[in-house]
Amino acid sequence: MKELLIKILTLLGIAQAGAPLQEGQDAYLFSLQNQEGKVVNLSDYKGKWVVLYFYPKADTPGCTIQAKEYTKLMPEFERLEVKVFGISTDGVEAIKRFRQKYNLSVEFLSDPKGSVAKAYGVRVIAGFCSRDTVLINPNLKIEKIYRGVDPSADPKKVLDYIKSKNP
């Protein structure tokens, strides 16, 4: 039923399905503005693990839980030299307010047209990204894709996977 609804919304132009993305493919290299308006280029992170977690909307309950969980685990991510980015279609000012309001350490990126989300196969429905996480390895290849993640469990699951690859 859910898939049928998404297909109907896509046909009506309300939803846009992203291209299917496979683990092992090259990461889509992008440039997006962060919460300070500075341009972030994924290509600058070659040699590091990168977490791209896509979320629907800043300062909503699930998104706040997920951002707080990533913030709580940030010292461990940093110790492993992992860069974490939260990405949504929110504008720069919205992600800046969100980060400040909850004193979050996650770096947020603004993808206002959802083009990066779509490139990674993330569904964009009525301007909101689905809650998916893409893990990029140090060779800028897609290591893992987690679709429809649980906002409270996602950060730990991703961290545990990276730890298993970096004993």
Active site residues: 63
45: left (phi over 0), alpha (psi -120 to 50) or beta: alpha
Residue 34 has what DSSP assignment?
A: E
Q: How far apart are CA 118 and CA 89, in angstroms?
A: 11
Q: What is the pLDDT along the chain (167 residues), one digit of tens a residue?
A: 545 444 444 444 444 454 567 899 999 999 999 999 999 999 999 999 999 999 999 999 999 999 999 999 999 999 999 999 999 999 999 999 999 999 999 999 999 999 999 999 998 888 899 999 999 999 999 999 999 999 999 999 999 999 998 76
Domains (ranges, CATH) in the chain?
27-165 (3.40.30.10)
